[in-house]
Every structure is written in C-alpha cells, then in structure tokens.
C-alpha cells in the first residue's frame, strides 16, 4: 500500500499515516526488568556468553557513545565469530566506520538482522549492496526507545560499554580513562533488555553520582580498554570557513531573529556540523548583543554550547550524547549540564519529551524534495550514508524546523522532485535556507505571512529546483534494484519508506 | 603533444589531452551516474568549436560544473599546443 508520504510499504507492515498520528494511540510498555539482587563481576566476554548461554538467533544491543573509538561491539562480534553463532540480530544505536569486523559477520550470515538509527562506512556499503541476509530497520533515536519499551524489539542481552562502574553495579560515563559523557542512548536497553551486561575498564568502590542504575545490571565485565579515546570525541569543533556555509549560517541566524525566535527563555537544537556550529556562533553573538538568556539547548552537545552555558546565555543543557571533550568535562562538573535518555529526548509517548519543548531546530539534508520530505539516510544513488538519529524526532517536536544546505554539493542538486529515501516527513519541515534563496513550506501560512514583507530572497521550492538545474543541468533519473534490504521506521513505529539495494551498475 | 589542466579537488576536474590517431573521450566522474552525457557533450562541443580532432581526452571529474569543465579543457588545449 501507499503510506502518508506517498511511499510503497508492504501490506504486512503498519504504514506511516501522519507525524501526529501517535497522539490518539496509548503508550505500550512491557514491564521493566526486575531487580537484580546480586550483580556478578566477570573476567571476560567469553565467560558472559557461557553464563547467559548466548546462542544463535538472539538479539544483542549496544550503544554508540564511544563512536569510532568503540571496542565493545567489536569484542562481542569476535566472540560471535569464534563461536560461529548464526542469524544473530544486533541493535546498536549507531554503526560507525570503525566497526569493520562486522563486515565478515554479515557476509557469513553470523549477523542477519540489524536495528540501528544511523550507519556509515564499510558496513553501510555492503548492506547497500545487498549483503545483509535479513532486514535492516532504521529507527529514530526516540523511535528506538519506542520499539524497545513496547516489546517490538525484544533484546536478549544488552552490552553497555560503561567508562566507570562501582561495586554495586552502578555505572557512569562522565569519568574514567574512556570517559564519553552521558549514556543517554543506553537507558532503554538497560531498563528493558532481558539481561544487562556492563562492559568497563574502570571499577571503583562507590559512585556517588551515576546514570546507570545497578539494579538493572546482571553482569559487569572488566576488560583492559573499552575504547580508544581519540575516536571517542570525534565531533568537529571548528566553525566552517567555507563562504557559502558562512552565508547560509548568517542568513539563518538573522532569519531566526526576524521571526522573533531569539527571545528570552527560548530553546534550540542544532546538528554538530561545521555550518551548524557557525549558526550557533551567530546566535550566540545575537544573544550577547540583545541581552537574551535562553532556556536550554539540547542534543548532542558540543563545546559551543558549553561555552554558552558557562557564559550564562543558556540556563541548562539537555545532553543525550557528548560530542567533544569539553562537553564531557562540562557534564562531569556543571550541575546545569543535564543528561537525558533517548526516550526523554525523543519518544513521542513520553509526557513532555525534550524534543517537544524546542522552539526551533537547525538541521541538514542530503536531499529535500518538492513536498519538503528530507533524506539523510541514503545518498542520491541509494547508498546508505547515515540515518535519522534525532532528525525526525526534533523536526516534529520543534515549533520551527529549518533545513540549511547549499543548493549544490559537487554538482548534485540537493532539491529533488522526490527524495531517494524519506527520513523526515515534509509536514515537519518548515523552512529551507540555501545560499541563493529560502523556501517556506506552504503549510506554514503563519511563517509565510511573517516573512511576506521581508527582504529575504524567498522562492517556492520548485523555483529553487529550476534555479539549481540551470546551474548543474538536469541529473539523470536513478533506478534502484527491486530487492528491499530494509525499512525506515518512523518514531511512532509505523513504516515510512523501503530501503532498496543499489543497482550493481552504480 | 600533451596538455593537462585542473585538479582533483571537490567541484573541479583534471583534464588531460593528448594527440592520438583518433578522437577518444574517457570520463571518470563521481557524478557520472547523473551527468555522464552532459560531461561528454561539453567535451565534444568544446573540441568541435576549437576545431580539434584526433585527440585522447581523459576527464577525472569531482563534480565540476560545465563551465569549469569547459575552461579546464580550453586550458589543457592551450598547453597541448605549447607542448611541441
């Protein structure tokens, strides 16, 4: 059948209807994990496989807070390989380029099904080529919490990399030699997995502050090192120097101001890319100039926001994942730098998730189409290159959702008639800012009205597309293979789009 | 005789042109799936306008726009003519 964004979804899956359809549906939660009386401390991962009797066809979950420095998923993958377990289902919150040893396991059918929110690198490449025997399900950060708490994604064992653990099994991410900051993506796994294993390299007597509650922890494994610190804090901290990026960022900040969004107690979120960081800098400057104090910034937190918190430009930060070392240190010492779980961040069924409290968000796009649907999951050939992460969550939650992007990236127009893959429905995308013009979603009559008499170069999105084609030429239509390799699942659990194998000729 | 112009930076292209016994255009582009035909005709038309035949042209393209491709080719042609 055809779903609410005009995409084909097989009849056995719940089709996406609309981004606010969840409002009429009650929250479904399986019982949380029962209290563990005695957390056991174990010497190595292999022993865990014996104790829990991890076998073929099981579902194992992971978080990605150690990003490119993560060793835990690789150690567990080695164990799967050594034992030749087959048809394993893994559910890491993201898959990074360094997770290269998953490639052989996928090709050899040790791993056949994957749930994740974001993936790139070699694993993404081979899945795009059709090597995953089962299916890839791509969730949002909030949606992952939904499928876990509802029991739709039952986890047999959660392996939670944890920089420091105490004798009671409580764990924390802010300190330790592999400190990575908050562990927001691991909380649903902790609360709902059948078995929970903390993997650490630092054990202390007693933690006074912790994010991981030992009452859910069955086992703690101490290994030499859970992560390579140089890969953990991999976020960029540099503002873009690209004149096009700077122009877009400056226009974006000025537009926010024109719309009256830079006001006392406002809240915002941006990505961590270089152009987003430029927006943050320009917003910072505006706040200083106008004497504005914001309520909060949220997201993956970077140094730029830490500086604003310390300058009292924001009252607090809600942080699901620290992007750089400054954010890790700030989370460890500043009481107004608050951790949030993925569920508190983006789960539509939470009472008042952070994403719903956002005034505006600034996001990127690989493609955007004439209906304002955004793709950040695949490139224009259909190769997997990312995923929603929080994109669809905050695009829905925020009052104003702005996409910033150059019109052309290496000759590829970012505006398409139809995006290759729908990551975020166009009904949740309000404004597109490019270096040559701004487009406003026709649904936002209020914003169009406000900007009607402004000096901004405002166009219809199809006019921007025509403008782009005059520069680049009209790109040839790309065909995908018929084989479905997986699905994009929306944050409410419905299905937004199919992922298809990339044709061999590309 | 041979001329080279351009670079392999993003949004640019590196063009090599060399005299040969027949005209041959070879295109290796990161956006070939979308723009191969356009790149080909830009090269073909530019050669025609310059009255050049019997050359081997190699385009290594990193997403250059047509005017970039054309100007890189014209420069490569100049350099080929100087290369005696």
The interface predicted TM-score (ipTM) is: 0.92
- The contacts found for A236-243 with CB under 8 angstroms, 24 or more apart, are A236/A272, A236/A273, A236/A274, A236/A277, A237/A277, A237/A302, A237/A303, A237/A304, A237/A324, A237/A326, A238/A274, A238/A277, A239/A274, A239/A277, A239/A278, A239/A281, A240/A274, A240/A275, A240/A277, A240/A278, A242/A274, A242/A275
Q: Terminus-to-terminus CA distance in chain A, angstroms?
A: 28
Same domain, A258 and A193: no
State pLDDT tens for residues A450-466.
999 999 999 999 999 99
**Per-residue pLDDT, A231:** 84
Least confident of A466-475, B1-10, B14-23, B75-84: B75-84
Least confident of A124-138, A159-173, A224-238: A224-238
Confidence band of A271 (pLDDT split at 50, 70, 90): confident
Question: Is the CB of B12 inside 8 Å of chain A's CB atoms?
Answer: no
The answer to the question of residue A34 being in a domain is no
Do B63 and A409 lie within an 8 Å CB cutoff?
A: yes
Sheet-wide strand order for B24-29: B2-6, B13-19, B55-61, B24-29
Residues A39-45, mean pLDDT to the nearest whole number = 96
- Within 8 A of B30 by CB-CB distance, chain A residues are 410
Confidence band of A236 (pLDDT split at 50, 70, 90): low
Do B34 and A409 lie within an 8 Å CB cutoff?
A: no
By percentage, how much of chain A surpasses pLDDT 90? 94
The answer to the question of residue A264 being in a domain is yes
The answer to the question of residue A304 being in a domain is yes
3-class SS letters over A209-243: CCCECHHHCCEEEECCCCECHHHHCCCCCCCCCCH
The answer to the question of residue A467 being in a domain is yes
Same domain, A195 and A73: yes
Question: Where a domain ends, among A212, A232, A252?
Answer: A232
- Within 8 A of A475 by CB-CB distance, chain B residues are 31, 34-35
**Per-residue pLDDT, A235:** 58
Q: How many CA atoms lie within 13 A of A188 on its CB side?
A: 33
Please name the residue of chain B whose CA is at the shortest distance from the CA of residue A382. B33
Same domain, A224 and A247: no
Question: Is the CB of B84 inside 8 Å of chain A's CB atoms?
Answer: no
The domains of chain B are located at: 2-82
CATH number at residue A363: 3.40.1080.10
Token couple for A489? 């699942």
Flag whether pLDDT at A272 surpasses 90: no
What's chain A's average pLDDT?
Answer: 96
Q: For residues A181 and A66, what is the distance between their CA atoms, to the nearest angstrom?
A: 9
Inter-chain contacts counted by CB atoms under 8 A, chains A and B? 36
Same domain, A437 and A492: yes
Residue-wise DSSP of A305-332: HHHHHHTTSEEEEEEEEE-SHHHHHHHH
Same domain, A277 and A217: no
**Per-residue pLDDT, A246:** 97
Confidence band of A237 (pLDDT split at 50, 70, 90): low
3-class SS letters over A364-396: CCCEEECCCCEECCECCCCCECCCCECHHHHHH
| CA–CA min distance A419, chain B (Å) | 15
Chain B 21-60, residues with CB within 8 Å of chain A CB atoms:
30-31, 33-38
Flag whether pLDDT at A110 surpasses 80: yes
- Within 8 A of A472 by CB-CB distance, chain B residues are 35, 65
**Per-residue pLDDT, A253:** 98
Q: For residues B45 and B56, what is the distance between their CA atoms, to the nearest angstrom?
A: 15
Confidence band of A239 (pLDDT split at 50, 70, 90): confident
**Per-residue pLDDT, A234:** 63
Q: How many CB atoms lie within 10 A of CB A57?
A: 12
Among A381, A410, A506, beta carbon nearest to B11: A410
Same domain, A101 and A203: yes
Are A219 and A51 in contact, with CB atoms under 8 Å apart? yes
The answer to the question of residue A10 being in a domain is no
Question: Where a domain ends, among A196, A212, A232?
Answer: A232
By percentage, how much of chain A surpasses pLDDT 70? 99
The answer to the question of residue A33 being in a domain is no
Are A182 and A332 in contact, with CB atoms under 8 Å apart? no
Same domain, A75 and A112: yes
- Name residues whose C-beta falls within 8 Å of residue A177's C-beta, 6 or more positions apart in sequence: A163, A201, A202, A225, A229
Phi, psi at A485, each rounded to 5°: -105, -10
Q: For residues A132 and A90, what is the distance between their CA atoms, to the nearest angstrom?
A: 12
**Per-residue pLDDT, A506:** 80
Are A66 and A98 in contact, with CB atoms under 8 Å apart? no
Cross-strand bridge partners of residue A296: A267, A316
Same domain, A267 and A322: yes
Residues A140-149, mean pLDDT to the nearest whole number = 98
Name the pairing type of β-strands A267-270 and A59-62.
Answer: unpaired
State pLDDT tens for residues A427-450.
999 999 999 999 999 999 999 999
Same domain, A176 and A271: no
State pLDDT tens for residues A64-90.
999 999 999 999 999 999 999 999 999
- Within 8 A of B38 by CB-CB distance, chain A residues are 473
Flag whether pLDDT at A37 surpasses 90: no
Same domain, A200 and A260: no
3-class SS letters over A393-415: HHHHHCCEEEEECCCEECCEECE
3-class secondary-structure state, position A421: coil
**Per-residue pLDDT, A505:** 81
Same domain, A287 and A420: yes
Q: For residues A318 and A354, what is the distance between their CA atoms, to the nearest angstrom?
A: 8
3-class SS letters over A116-183: ECCECCHHHHHHHCCCCCCCEEECEHHHHHHHHHCCCCCCCEEEEECCEEECCCCEECCCCCCCCCCC
- Locate tokens 């047999």: which residue? A156
Same domain, A256 and A228: no
Residues A253-277, mean pLDDT to the nearest whole number = 95
Element (H, E) at A187: helix A187-192
State pLDDT tens for residues B14-38.
999 999 999 999 999 999 999 999 9
Q: If we measure between CA atoms, which residue out of A473, A479, A347 comes closest to residue A420?
A: A479
State pLDDT tens for residues A278-323.
999 999 999 999 999 999 999 999 999 999 999 999 999 999 999 9
The answer to the question of residue A181 being in a domain is yes
Q: How many CB atoms lie within 10 A of CB A281?
A: 19
Q: For residues B72 and B43, what is the distance between their CA atoms, to the nearest angstrom?
A: 10
Flag whether pLDDT at A145 surpasses 70: yes
Distances from the Cα of B69 to the Cα of A311, B13, B27, B33, B37, angstroms: 49, 7, 11, 17, 13
Domain extent, residue A211, equals 39-232
Tally of domains in chain A: 2
Do B63 and A475 lie within an 8 Å CB cutoff?
A: no
Question: Where a domain ends, among A179, A200, A232?
Answer: A232
The answer to the question of residue A5 being in a domain is no
């Amino acid at each position: 059948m055809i779903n609410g964004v005009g995409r084909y979804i097989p009849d056995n899956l719940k089709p996406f209807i609309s981004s606010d359809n969840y409002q009429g549906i009650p929250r479904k939660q399986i019982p949380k994990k029962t209290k563990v009386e005695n957390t056991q401390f174990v010497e190595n991962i292999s022993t865990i496989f014996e104790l829990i009797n991890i076998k073929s066809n099981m579902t194992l979950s992971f978080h990605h807070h150690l990003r490119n420095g993560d060793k835990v998923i690789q150690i567990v993958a080695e164990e799967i390989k050594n034992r030749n377990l087959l048809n394993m289902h893994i559910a890491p919150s993201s898959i990074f380029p360094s997770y290269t040893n998953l490639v052989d396991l996928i090709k050899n059918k040790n791993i056949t099904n994957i749930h994740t929110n974001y993936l790139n690198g070699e694993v993404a490449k081979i899945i795009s080529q059709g090597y995953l025997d089962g299916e890839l399900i791509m969730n949002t950060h909030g949606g992952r919490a939904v499928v876990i708490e509802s029991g739709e994604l039952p986890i047999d064992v959660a392996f939670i990399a944890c920089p420091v653990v105490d004798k009671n099994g409580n764990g924390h991410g802010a300190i330790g030699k592999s400190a990575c900051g908050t562990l927001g993506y691991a909380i649903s796994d902790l609360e709902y997995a059948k078995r929970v294993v903390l993997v650490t390299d630092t054990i202390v007597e007693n933690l006074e502050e912790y994010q991981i509650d030992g009452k859910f922890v069955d086992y703690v494994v101490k290994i030499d090192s859970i992560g390579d610190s140089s890969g953990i804090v991999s976020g960029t901290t540099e503002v873009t120097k690209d004149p096009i990026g700077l122009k877009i960022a400056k226009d974006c900040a000025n537009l926010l101001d024109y719309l009256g969004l830079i006001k006392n107690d406002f809240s915002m979120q941006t990505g961590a890319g270089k152009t987003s960081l430029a927006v943050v800098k320009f917003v910072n400057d505006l706040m200083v100039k106008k004497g504005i104090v914001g309520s909060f910034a949220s997201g993956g937190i970077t140094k730029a926001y830490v500086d604003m918190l310390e300058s009292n430009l924001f009252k607090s930060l809600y942080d699901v994942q620290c992007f750089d070392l400054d954010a890790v240190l700030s989370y460890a010492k500043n009481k107004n730098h608050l951790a949030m779980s993925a569920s508190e961040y983006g789960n539509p069924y939470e009472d008042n998730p952070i994403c719903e409290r956002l005034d505006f968000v600034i996001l990127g796009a690989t493609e955007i189409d004439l209906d304002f649907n955004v793709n950040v999951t695949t490139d224009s050939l259909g190769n997997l290159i990312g995923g929603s992460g929080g994109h669809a969550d905050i695009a829905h939650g925020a009052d104003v959702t702005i996409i910033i992007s150059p019109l052309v990236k290496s000759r590829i127009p970012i505006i398409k008639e139809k995006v290759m893959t729908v990551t975020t429905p166009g009904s949740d995308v309000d404004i597109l800012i490019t270096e040559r013009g701004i487009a406003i979603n026709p649904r936002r009559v209020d914003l169009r009205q406000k900007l009607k008499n402004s000096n901004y170069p405002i166009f219809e999105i199809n006019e921007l597309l025509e403008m782009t084609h005059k520069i680049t030429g009209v790109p040839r239509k790309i065909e995908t293979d018929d084989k479905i390799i997986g699905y994009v699942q929306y944050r409410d659990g419905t299905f937004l789009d199919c992922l298809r194998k990339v044709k061999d000729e590309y | 005789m041979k001329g080279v112009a351009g670079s392999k930076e993003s949004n640019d292209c590196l063009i090599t042109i060399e005299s040969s016994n027949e005209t041959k255009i070879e295109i290796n582009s990161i956006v070939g799936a979308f723009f191969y035909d356009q790149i080909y005709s830009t090269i073909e038309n530019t050669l025609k306008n310059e009255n050049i035949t019997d050359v081997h042209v190699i385009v290594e393209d990193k997403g250059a726009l047509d005017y970039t491709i054309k100007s890189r080719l014209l420069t490569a042609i100049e350099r080929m003519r100087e290369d005696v």
